[in-house]
Amino acid sequence: MGRRRVVTACIGVSMPPVSMKKVDIIAALLLLPVCLYVLYESGRWPLLPDLGNPAWIPRGVAVCLLLAAGLLLVRALQGRSLTLPSRLTGADRARVLWVAVLTGGYVILLERLGFIATTAPFLFGFGLVLRERRWVRLLLFATVVPIAVYLLFDTALHVPLPRGWFR
């Protein structure tokens, strides 16, 4: 009676936690040069007299991402990476793959169809993949968010977003 059995749903054998150390190191090492490149390239952009410096947004994002990648790398090298309880299988794996497919399709279609026409179905599909079943809320989210982001960036901040069909 002193022994405790670990019960799992799949094969009856418990699986040790999966460390994210290797993935964290690879992700950080891929992000660092990208951030440095963005910092370099955005420094070469011309200053526009009416709009000020257009490089502050990409530079700000690059600096934040650079700090996050550096922190991720340091934590991984110190052995403090997060661990997953087990490998992704079944429904969890399918959700990750669907998100990857949706994102790939979004990237491919964004320039052709435009920001709003692509982002609304992307957000709706993303919500479905995450098992959101409150349909009114999901439709409202998938409609309002792209329109609000478009109005903010394209109209208020004068940052052009892909127009696609609306040229």
Q: What is the DSSP string of the chain?
A: --------SSSSS--PPEE-HHHHHHHHHHHHHHHHHHHHHHTTSPPBTTTB-TTHHHHHHHHHHHHHHHHHHHHHHTT---EESS---HHHHHHHHHHHHHHHHHHHHHHHH-HHHHHHHHHHHHHHHTT---HHHHHHHHHHHHHHHHIIIIIIS------GGG-
Would you kindly state where each structural domain of the chain is located, as residue ranges?
16-87, 88-167
pLDDT-based confidence at residue 43 (cuts at 50, 70, 90):
confident
More confident residue, 155 or 72: 72
Does pLDDT of 100 surpass 80? Answer: yes
pTM to 2 decimals? 0.63
Does pLDDT of 61 surpass 70? Answer: yes
Q: Which of 5-9, 45-49, 59-63, 84-88 has the highest mean pLDDT?
A: 59-63
Q: What is the pLDDT of residues 112-131, one digit of tens each?
A: 999 999 999 999 999 999 88
Does pLDDT of 19 surpass 60? Answer: yes
